[in-house]
Structure 1
């Protein structure tokens, strides 16, 4: 018996379109290892750190590189391809890297191999559990934290971490966008949200965290500056005569220096009680800075400026690097030189 085939409009369209082609499956950068590449050292790099005598750099697509002489670079084994923003090495072998998608990476061999300790999805769970159901629903602060927690959960893995600092191999902080701050006291095996321990009710981005003068400071958007009250274990807001974004800070036993947009820098010698403007004579964003072992201070800009101070940050003069390029990070290098990272990779300069 002849069976008549019924052709529906959808069947006709499918036949005309040809065979179905499988669509590529999206893999999150949190789950995709960084790709080895001979050109990784030439890619934009956002972070630098000294791991003992070794220099470690990190940047886009999960690339981490390390060098023991500042000339020959090797690419590390990294389990993610998220863009990385900051590095911290409290010792020569123990180090941490942070970046987009909330990734926190850890190394125990000076930066050659890395493992993932946390990511943005896990951070959302931590924040949700910590603040999702306040004990006192009538408390305005508890309500604010609950709303923050709900926003973190709704955003999923989108949790940019922007800086990391470790006091030693066990105790450290990571900070990031929208008031994100986490604390560990066991080398990153567990992390505790500190959103309730920081005076940042508007949820400003946190760009930098560093010690100075025996205290710990954080800087961020719209002139946000905070100092850790060690007794109360809370970051308390400081008053600055500047309302622009601050990208970072540095310090030593005598002073703390904050820096940011349009060449703005401010210095305090009384633990953040009062601040004086530092004339940098540049108008580009100051992106990174370090205090060197000889007592001098170096600031760098996104326009390629390299500034050096020999009076503990009270005044700066332009240095003369061999090559001018946008700078995103700076770190000490062997022989009193500095390593600079940004567009075009890493270069080592002996500043004049």
Structure 2
């Protein structure tokens, strides 16, 4: 390990290739986010109606080197000026993860830098730290994405307690499946939210799952079935818009009720909302009204940092490097990595 690589104030390069975005960024403690770039694969996967893992991996391979070079140029840095290389180690598509991990490991070895394995969900939890108005610890986090629906007590970097999770479909998955029922194109979640703006959210009285019983867990698979049952055989565009709006109302009501319950349970006065579904404007509106009524502070990452991005990986790598944790001497990737099992795979 070189002396330069151990300097705590040197910037961290973050690499994200967990699914269908290729992204990288550079973060430094003193100056914050120095640069970030992202390439989305939406157009690549659109004709298949979902992510094709092999195509995702190949596209990462073809894009990642150019993105890293461009990000370093944007930051005005040479590779030798970095203080570490962070990469998404999991959870995610294993082939896609290996693309970022291999490049990160190669760069770290060539430059004598720490290699920092980042948990994708932890990075989403910490994404609001990239904003000027950042939350102080401790806080409650609602992490809602295509693969996860979690309520987490966050007491510090690496200090997480899972309070609730989905027992079946993640909320983003429920959005996507419902969008497919309505014949909407990929990616379904944002398309459903757009359609909902033209609909009447009171027309269909869908359930607010698991809000009539104690606890903080979620269940969204039944909502998809409720939409399927209510869908007219020859649905008009207005029927579809009303279904989309009513579905969105049911989901966002459920999330707001569970957040309110979790805040009372934990005693926290700050709520962070992260993950791709955190960009949903109706959810933001409802939680904003709840925050005004209940008197807690509400934090969101900017819309660009709700979905997968390199900035959250670079920041988390910097925070972990500052702690001296999650540096690894080998490539570590895993498609499944529960947040409760977050730990260093092998210290360097």
* TM-score, length basis structure 2: 0.26
- Between structures 1 and 2, the one with greater helix share: 2
Relative contact order, higher structure (CA 8 A, sep 6+): 2
